[in-house]
Amino acid sequence: MTFSADLFAGRTIVVTGGTSGIGAASAHGFAALGARVLSCGLGASKAPAMPGIENHEVDVLVPGALEAFLASVEAIDVLVNCTGVSRDRGEWSKAVFDEVMAINLTSVMDCCRLARPRMQVGSAMVNIASMYSTFGAADRPAYAASKGAIVQLTKSLAQEYAQAGIRVNAVAPGWIVTPLSRGLFADEAASGPILQRIPAGRWGVSDEVADAIIFLASDAARYVTGACLPVDGGYLTS
């Protein structure tokens, strides 16, 4: 194992968007290390089951849903914000653009704001940015904009919460095989050039992003805050 099996024993981890993809991998990773994991998102009843994980159905677009969920949690040691969507070229319409920003950015701020009173010295937050935080995307303007904003939000939260002993960091996944990206990977004409640009020579998997999240949430990163860690096989270097 990469980490000590009891690394998060006795700690409570909240993972939003934890019912699939990177969120689910993170929930499983923390649970395997002894944590009590409260996962929320869409499709909770179909999320993979594992001892130590409680899945809750929460739609961040429903007014009051996040407040109700977090009100049921007495204390939070780690908050991981994995909620996110991409609507591709549909994002050029105002309604879809606004929806993507509400899910990918506003709900993250809401979670951090609501979780803050339940966190103590030594707690940590980890947000999910993206390689699109670095460059734009003609086919997903809202996704790129929201993820760029996540990096700046993370820095702002890190400055504000440092005085309370709470660290805030982000990871920026590259081309990771998830339900959100499965269609792209199946398109060889589109995915071939992408693969050629990845120095590591392969796509990433959700567990590899989860490991980076776990590191940033752990005491091994106790002097790291306001950072955004790329997990992309070197894609941004090429």
- Continuous segment of H or E residues that includes residue 155: helix 141-161
d(CA 41, CA 229): 24
Give the largest CA-CA distance in the chain: 50
Rounded to the nearest angstrom, the gap between the alpha carbon of residue 37 and the centroid of all alpha carbons in its chain is 14
In degrees and rounded to multiples of 5, residue 74 shows phi and psi of: -75, -45
What is the spatial distance between Cα 1 and Cα 29, in angstroms, rounded to a whole number? 11
- Dist. CA 191–CA 185, nearest whole Å: 5
Q: Which candidate, 229, 220, 217, places its Cα nearest to that of 78?
A: 217
% of the chain exceeding 90 in pLDDT? 88
**Mean pLDDT to the nearest integer, 5-34:** 96
Q: pLDDT above 70 covers what percent of the chain?
A: 99
- Which residue among 132, 143, 161, 235 is the active-site one? 143
Cβ neighbours of residue 139 under 8 Å, at least 6 residues apart?
88, 89
Using the predicted structure, report yes or no on whether residue 125 has a pLDDT greater than 90. yes
Closest to 115 in 3D by CA, of 82, 75, 84, 83? 75
Where b means 16+ CB within 10 Å and e means fewer, 84-122 reads: bbbbeeebeeeebbebbbbbbbebbbbbbebbbebbeee
For the cut 70, the answer to whether the pLDDT of residue 120 exceeds it is: yes
Extract the runs of DSSP E, i.e. beta strands, from the chain. 12-16, 36-41, 53-57, 78-81, 124-128, 167-173, 176-177, 204-205, 228-231
What is the model's pLDDT at position 178? 82
Q: Average pLDDT of 91-106?
A: 98
Side chain identity, residue 200: A
CATH code linked to domain 12-231: 3.40.50.720
Mean pLDDT of the chain: 95
For tokens 């994995």, what's the residue?
Answer: 82
The reply to whether 223 belongs to the active site is no
pLDDT at residue 134 in the model: 96
- Hunting for tokens 């409680």 — which residue is that? 54
Write down how long the chain is. Answer: 238
pTM of the model: 0.95
What one-letter code names the amino acid at 116? R
Residue-wise pLDDT tens digits, 213-222:
999 999 999 9
pLDDT one-digit tens code per residue, 167-200: 999 999 999 988 767 777 777 788 899 999 999 9
Residue 1 pLDDT: 60
Residue entry with tokens 């949690």? 73
Question: pLDDT tens digits for 46-70?
Answer: 887 889 999 999 999 999 999 999 9
